[in-house]
Structure 1
Amino acid sequence: MSAAADRPADHTSPVPAGTTAGAHAESTVLFHERLFPGPTVWVVAVAIGAALGLILVPLNLTVAIVFSAVCILAGLVLVYQYSPVLEVAHGRFRLSRAQIDVELLGDPTPLEGEEWAHTIGQGFEPLAHHCVRGWTRSGLRVEVLDPEDPITAWVASTRRPEDLALALRTAKQLQARQSL
Structure 2
Amino acid sequence: MQNTTPETRARYRERLSPSLWLLVTIALAGPMVSLIFVPVGSTVALIVGAAVSALLVLAAIALTPVVSVDGGVLRAGRAHIDVHHLGDPVALTGEDARQARGPGLPARGWHLIRGGIDGVVVVPDTDVDDPVDVWTISSRTPERLAAAITAARS
Smaller-chain TM-score bracket: over 0.9
Indicate the residue corresponding to 2:63 in structure 1: 82
2:103 aligned partner:
122
Q: TM-score, normalised by structure 1?
A: 0.81
Report sequence identity in percent.
32
1:53 to 13, 34, 40: 34
Unaligned 5+ runs, structure 2: none
Cα deviation code 1:58-109 (max 9, x no counterpart): 2111221221122011111221123221100121000011111111111100
Secondary structure of 2:120's counterpart equals strand
Please tell me the residue identity of whatever aligns with 1:59.
V
Match of 2:126 in 1: 145
When the two structures are aligned, how many residues end up with a matched partner? 154
Of the three residues 36, 41, 47, the one matched with 1:66 is 47
Cα distance in 2 for partners of 1:23, 1:168 equals 20
Q: How does 1:137-176 map to 2 (within 5 A)?
A: 137-173=118-154
Deviation, structure 1 residue 23: 4.3
- Residue aligned with 1:88, SS: strand
